[in-house]
Amino acid sequence: MTFTFDRLLLAGAAAGACLLPAAAAAQAVPAAGNRGVYVTQVGDSNVAFVRQSAPTASATVTQTGDRNDASVMQGGGGAASAELAQTGDANVARLAQAGDGTSVLVASQSGARNSLIAAQTGNAGGLANVVLAQQEGNDNQIRLAQEGSDNQATLGQTGDGNALNAVQGGGGNRLTWTQDGNNLSGMTVTQMGGQTLQITQTGPGR
């Protein structure tokens, strides 16, 4: 099943449009606006595609089993926030946020062939780009690119194939990355501008 939403406006989306965890709220998460997309898929060959132009973009995608795949693209003027959760099987997620407001991405993948590709560009006036991403098991991989001011990324990988490639450009960059087990390989981090970096690796393969 495929869902495609292009500039979809939902009345009443301001209430509960994006349910972000408290950790994200502490990092200048933009308030949900009048635009919203919600996709829930449970089984088999799931695919989801969302495209939005602020103001103010908000998207929630939840996939549970089988061949998952999800893409979210948000752009335009104003803040953007996206929340993605994939649980089982062949998960892939590709997310892009571009605009002149705060961009926040909260992503979680759980099992099997995980991969996450995220890009945030174009904030202005010292507003933050924020990514919170967690992968739990199997062939994990994270590729992240952030450009702008006050980039913040908190990335976690728990088991199996792990690999990470992160690029942050601009001033005030902060990256926290935690790997917990298995191959723990393929780390590449590039930061330009003022920066803070914290990396924790535990378990065999480090």
DSSP 139-185: S--EEEEEESSSEEEEEEE-SSS--EEEEEESSSEEEEEEE-STT--
Burial class (CB in 10 A: 0-12, 13-18, 19+), 6: exposed
In a domain, 77, yes or no: yes
Asked whether 136 and 110 are in contact (CB, 8 A), the reply is yes
Is position 206 within any domain? Answer: no
Q: Which residues of 165-201 are buried (b: 16+ CB within 10 A; e: fewer)?
A: ebbbbbebbbbebebbbbbbeeeebebeeebeeeeee
Contact between 120 and 147 (Cβ < 8 Å): yes
Residue 140 maps to a domain: yes
Query: Which domain does 48 fall in, by range?
Result: 2-13+21-201
151 lies in a domain? yes
Q: Does 47 map to a domain?
A: yes
* Structural domain count, the chain: 1
Give a yes or no: residue 68 inside a domain: yes
pTM for the whole thing? 0.74
The torsion angles phi and psi of 24, rounded to 5 degrees, stand at: -75, -35
25 SS3 class:
helix
**Residue 49 domain-assigned?**
yes
CA angle 169, 114, 42 (to 5 degrees): 120
Give pLDDT tens digits along the chain (206 positions).
333 333 222 222 222 333 333 333 333 334 444 567 888 888 889 888 888 876 777 888 888 888 998 888 888 777 788 898 988 889 999 999 887 778 889 999 888 899 999 998 876 556 678 999 998 888 989 999 988 778 889 998 888 888 888 888 877 788 898 888 787 766 778 887 777 888 787 776 55
Domain membership flag for residue 62: yes
| Secondary structure percentages of the chain, helix, strand, coil, to 5 | 0, 50, 50
